[in-house]
Amino acid sequence: MASKLSVEVAPLEHARVFRGRSLVTDGQKVFEDGPRLAREFGGVRNDISGREMPVVSAVVAHDPAEEGGRFRYFMGDEVCPSASKRLQEGFEDLVLPAGTLTAVVHVSFHLQALAALHVARARRSFYEEWLPGSGYVSAADELGFPDVELYHYRRRRFRRARKMVLDLLFVIRRA
C-alpha cells in the first residue's frame, strides 16, 4: 500500500528553541505523568520570557536512556533565539540547532480527542512506509529524541475561529 503521507524535508534555517519543563517517566506512568506535566506547565507558561508569537508549543519524549525504559518527557513553548541566550530559572531549554535536517509531517484531525490516534498513525506511516525508501535514516541518536510534536493555531479562512494545527518534526540524516 502506498503511503498517503506528505513529508517536507529541509534543514532548519535557524535554531528553534523551546522553553519549558520536563519530568522523567516510563511507558506505564506516562499516561498519568503527562497530564500532570501539562497542568504544571500550563500554570507557569505565561512566565516564559521571550515567547514567539504566535505561540508554538512542543512536546518531546526522549529516547529511553535507562534500564526499565525511563525517559524524559518535555513540554515547552518556542522562544526567540535572543531569549534563549539567557537561562530562565525554573525552566529548561530544548534546542534544535540551525542546519538540523528535518522531515515535517502535517497531522490532520477534526476532533481534538482523536489527535493522539492520528499522531500514532502518522508516526507509524513515517517509520514503516516513508523512511525505508526515502534515502534518509532517523538521527534520533544525535539529539536524544526522534521527533517533536508541534502544536500551534492558525485562523481559518473566512472565519473568526482558530484551528489547532499539529505537525510532527522528525530529525533525520542522509543514509
DSSP output for 65-80: -STTS-EEEEEEEEE-
Quote the DSSP letter at residue 130: I
pTM above 0.85, yes or no: yes
Q: How many CB atoms lie within 10 A of CB 100?
A: 19
Q: Which helix (H) or strand (E) holds 141?
A: helix 140-143
Question: Comparing C-alpha atoms, which of 119, 34, 151, 21 is closest to residue 76?
Answer: 21
User: What is the arithmetic mean of pLDDT over 30-59?
Assistant: 92
Domain range 7-174, CATH class: alpha beta
Q: Do the bridges between strand 16-25 and strand 92-96 make them parallel or antiparallel, or are there none, so unpaired?
A: antiparallel
User: What is the arithmetic mean of pLDDT over 151-175?
Assistant: 79
Quick one: pLDDT band at residue 162, thresholds 50, 70, 90? Answer: low
Which cell is 79 given?
A: 522562544
